Structure 1
Amino acid sequence: YRFRFEQIGDNFVRNITSPTNARLLNWVTSPLVAGASYNVFVQASFDGGATWCPFGNPCQVDILNPAPSAICGNGVVEPGEECDDGNLMNGDGCNQSCVAEIGACCLPDGSCLILDGGNCSAVGGTYEGDGTDCATVSCPAAPTCTDGIQNGDEEGVDCGGSCPLSCEAAALHRSMAQASKVQLHPNPNRGDQFQLTIEDLPEEVLTADVDIHDLFGKRVAARTYPAQGGVLNTVVDLDGQLAAGMYLVSITVGDKHFTERLVIE
């Protein structure tokens, strides 16, 4: 087969042969010009090129201009770029290769969003890295006043800051509980009942008064239980009557007074 390329509007003519009826436009000598149009004629030979059939009707071929190469950093998102913020800096949401810097951002409340590193820092989050996903990242839970660690704005373990219990009161409760070996469990509690145990009580003590107050000082429950052999070991029924929150359990045994926190979930 012989192909004849005639540039429309120009005197360029190029004849090129091919052993098949297809021809790639990739030759080097006198190549076709980008942006130009050509009439293409084809003729065939059945005797190895000794004689040729007449050219058939032409078809038009348009050679397109190649797409310009993307320039990272010019502020224009071009083909092949995910972003272009007008600079070649990393860490601002679009890196030096114009690839978006986004990933999982763990927020202070324990939730997760897909953000870039800059916006993640702006909202107080922890950026887990480019390309990370919330489905595969384990964000730490939001700090609470009952998790047994100092976090958030707490001034101590589960006290001070936005927690309802001051650290002074918390220290007093801990020291009293340790001295008297007060055990209250489970705590946190579902609100049905809890086990209360106090050891090393005077042998002559026969009863213990148990009062439960909310954080406003209102008494919400009052019970009296028997003690025996210097030990108070009883189940305090709550019957689901307490709303979720923190309460203070006050135990009076003879001339001793103990206070322990109770968290209802």
Structure 2
Amino acid sequence: GTADCVDGCPNDPNKVAAGQCGCGNPDTDTDGDGTADCNDACPEDPYKIVPGICGCDTPDDDTDSDGLADCIDPCPESPTNDDTDADGTADCFDNCPLDPAKVNPSACGCGNPDIDSDGDTYMDCLDGCPSDPNKIGPGTCGCGVPEIDTDGDGLKDCVDQCPLVVGQPGSPCDDGDPSTENDVLNLSCACTGTPAEQPTTLELTTDNDGSATSWEIVPLGGGPAVCSGSGYPSNSTQTIPCALPDGCWSLRVHDAAMDGMCCMNGIGGYVLRAPNGGRIIDAEDAGIFGATAMENLGFCLPMGNDQLTPSRCDREDYMPSDFIQAVPNPAVQAQYGVGSQTDDGYQFWFFKPNGGYSRRVFITHANSSYIFPSGPDRCSYFRLNSLSTFPLPLNTLLNVRVRSVVNGVYSDFGPACRLKIDTETNCPTTLLVATPGPNMSCGLTGVLLNGSTTLHAVPVSGATRYLFEFSKPGYVRNITSSTSSLVITKWSTWPLEYGNTYNVRVKVSFDNGASYCLFGSSCTMSTASGPQGMAQEPETRGMVEPQASSVLNFWPNPNVTGQLTIELSDVGNGAHTGQVEIISMLGTTVQSEGLNFDGDKLNTVLQLDRRVAPGSYLVRVIVDHRNWTERLVIQ
């Protein structure tokens, strides 16, 4: 549209003048800075037409006026460009300008190295346990100690006094023992309990009539029963608890049938035990009594610790000459030779478990027997036949308990032991000396009754009495001696007489005549015809030997009921008179009853006198001038 004549760029349809770029080149100004792109070295930077120091799009500013454009100024806002810590990084870019090892604080901050000594990814500066790879803090146990709770009770092992057991010393637990209570962990972390308070127990074994048996425990001074029982099955054993406080009590065992628990109608008995299991009364298989069994002195709790030595406890085979011994008590031993010797020692208590005999004997340092070893333990011994008054009964079950005495203060009695002096099984027999020699006495003839003849029995060790029996048909005479010899004289009562032959037997006693062993073999002794050799009328008392076929029986024997059934057969038909005599082993008649009956057989019941004490006796039945004799034991 513009003629060439007036067109400054006739060959450029887009221009009529050369402009800034000349014909053929558009005068484009992309960044609108007034300089065409053809002349603009920074066509897209409206602020620059040349790159300058910083190049296009970056202003050549010098903020700190230090002659260095900001784009090449290490510290565009600091005219000095300092590197205080000389770490090669100017302070303006160094976040730790005073720490040559760091340009940034990192985890530990300027001045602290970022070191992880234990390799647990926590820097030492933040690690409470820099040397423990398993912990970053001391926790409960401290560095180097693991935070372990082995027993899972919430307490770390390092502070747990029982790391393998739940709980601490004193914590409640269960020791699995039903006989203990208040179970707690001890200082060794073991679960231990206190022995539970056990009751006193009665072990009761009934006979064939269990319903007749009853029992009660009452205060010794009187009062209502604190424990009792009855109605038990026959031939059964019951273990019956009774909670008794400390104090003194009395056990009473009753039998409605009045025949006890042994041994007429079965084998029954009882054992009373203290809470510690020690026996207070032991009548096992020996409930021998009538209506009631009761030890009059009762028993007291608690039980003491003194007791017989094991080898001397629960023996029923003692000889009268045997001994028992208490376990030596250090407190008694310590008093030997110190102060008064009469108030230190041991008190032995012997008693029948069902009641009756009861004897306490105090052996001190002062009165102990010389036959035992000298020293502080001599008073712990007791010889069974040492009692001259109220001696221990023979062939009778006893209980024995012992307690120590120090300076006159009595301790509590310890557990009971069974004891029996068994002369029936172990008691020796003796007889007149039958060996030729100066003491030969068996078969003597021509004996004068003037003291010129002495009979000698074979001595028995430990025997305290010898009983010589002289008998012939219709005559029996017993006489005792403290030795094994007897001078023959004409005694003032029931004397021997001249012109007679006597059967002589001897038996021994170990308890001063309270009881005797069995007779030994019989020997004969014939008296002279008279003091000067003159014939004498033979003694007659109207008694003759019984018929060989006659048999005397009586029962019960041993006797505990007080009633004795007597049966004598083959006495001959017709009316008969006679008597029954109970004779002690000393030859004394303690009871006599008359007899009148018809027929060939005697059958009667004798009510024994209550004054007849337990022991061994002879029963002599005299019928029509004939006599029969058998042994009886009364319990």
For normalisation by structure 1, the TM-score amounts to 0.42
Q: Flag the structure with more relative contact order, 1 or 2, with Cα contacts below 8 A and sequence separation at least 6.
A: 1
For normalisation by structure 2, the TM-score amounts to 0.19
Structure whose CA Rg is larger: 2
Higher helix share: 1
